[in-house]
Structure 1
Amino acid sequence: AATMRRSGFDIYWASVGRSGESVARAQEHNLLDAHTVANMCATCEAIVSVCPPHTAVSVAEEVLATGFSGIYLDANAIAPNKAVHIAEMMAAAGVVFVDGSIIGGPAWEPNSTWLYLSGEQAGLVAKFFAEGPLETAVIGDQIGQASALKMCFAAYSKGTTALLSMILAGAEALGVRANLEEQWSRGGSEFAAQTQQRVRRVTAKAWRFEGEMHE
Structure 2
Amino acid sequence: MSLKLGLLGFGEAGQGVAEGLICTGVPIDILTWDILFPDAGKGAALVKAAERIGVKRAASAAEVAGHAELVISAVTTDQSLVAARQIAPHLGKGTLYLDFNSTSPGKKRQVAEVIDGAGAHMVEAAVMDTVPPHKHRVPLLLAGAKARDVVSKLAPYNMRIEALDGGIGSASTIKMCRSVFMKGLDGLLYECLVSANRAGVGDVVLDSLQKSFPGLDWAQLAGRKLGGAAIHSGRRAGEMREVAVTLTELGIKPLMASATADRLQAIADLGLKAYADENGVPKTVADFMAALAALERQGRAEAAE
Normalising by structure 2, what TM-score? 0.61
- Between Structure 1 and Structure 2, the one with more helix by share is 2
- Classify the secondary structure of the residue corresponding to 2:164: strand
- Identity fraction in percent: 24
User: Residue 197 of structure 1 corresponds to which residue in structure 2?
Assistant: 223
Corresponding position: 1:14 with 2:39 = no
User: Residue 79 of structure 2 corresponds to which residue in structure 1?
Assistant: 55
User: Residue 253 of structure 2 corresponds to which residue in structure 1?
Assistant: none
Give the Cα separation in 1 of the matches to 2:79 and 2:73: 10
Q: 2:106 aligns with which of 62, 81, 87?
A: 81
What is the aligned-residue RMSD (CA, Å)?
Answer: 3.0
User: Residue 66 of structure 1 corresponds to which residue in structure 2?
Assistant: 90
Shift in Å at residue 172 of structure 1? 5.2
Give the Cα separation in 2 of the matches to 1:64 and 1:188: 50
User: Residue 185 of structure 2 corresponds to which residue in structure 1?
Assistant: 160
Decide whether aligned partners of structure 1 residues 33 and 135 sit closer, same or farther in structure 2, where only a CA change above 3 A counts: same
> Any idea what the Cα deviations from partners look like across 1:97-146, whole Å, max 9, x if unmatched?
11112223336659961122111100111123213353111122410112
Contact 2:141 2:161 (8 Å CA) reproduced:
yes
Give the Cα separation in 2 of the matches to 1:27 and 1:197: 33
User: Residue 49 of structure 2 corresponds to which residue in structure 1?
Assistant: 25
Give the Cα separation in 1 of the matches to 2:226 and 2:34: 34
Deviates more, 1:106-115 or 1:68-77: 106-115
Gap runs ≥5 in structure 2: 1-17, 38-42, 243-305
Shift in Å at residue 82 of structure 1? 0.7
Give the Cα separation in 2 of the matches to 1:67 and 1:187: 55
AA matched with 1:208: R
Shift in Å at residue 64 of structure 1? 1.9
Shift in Å at residue 30 of structure 1? 2.6
User: Residue 126 of structure 2 corresponds to which residue in structure 1?
Assistant: 101
Give the Cα separation in 2 of the matches to 1:17 and 1:111: 23
Give the Cα separation in 1 of the matches to 2:241 and 2:213: 37
Corresponding position: 1:149 with 2:208 = no
The within-5 A match list for 1:165-180 is: 165-171=190-196, 177-180=202-205
AA matched with 2:88: L
Structure 1 residue ranges, 4+ long, deviating more than 6 angstroms after superposition: none
Shift in Å at residue 58 of structure 1? 0.6
User: Residue 69 of structure 2 corresponds to which residue in structure 1?
Assistant: 45
Decide whether aligned partners of structure 1 residues 198 and 55 sit closer, same or farther in structure 2, where only a CA change above 3 A counts: same
Decide whether aligned partners of structure 1 residues 183 and 128 sit closer, same or farther in structure 2, where only a CA change above 3 A counts: same
AA matched with 2:113: E
AA matched with 1:12: L
Deviates more, 1:165-174 or 1:38-47: 165-174
Decide whether aligned partners of structure 1 residues 63 and 39 sit closer, same or farther in structure 2, where only a CA change above 3 A counts: same
Deviates more, 1:113-122 or 1:197-206: 197-206
User: Residue 241 of structure 2 corresponds to which residue in structure 1?
Assistant: 214
Normalising by structure 1, what TM-score? 0.83
- Classify the secondary structure of the residue corresponding to 1:38: helix
Give the Cα separation in 2 of the matches to 1:2 and 1:127: 20
Shift in Å at residue 156 of structure 1? 2.4
Gap runs ≥5 in structure 1: none
Q: How many residues align?
A: 215
Give the Cα separation in 1 of the matches to 2:111 and 2:213: 50
Shift in Å at residue 167 of structure 1? 2.6
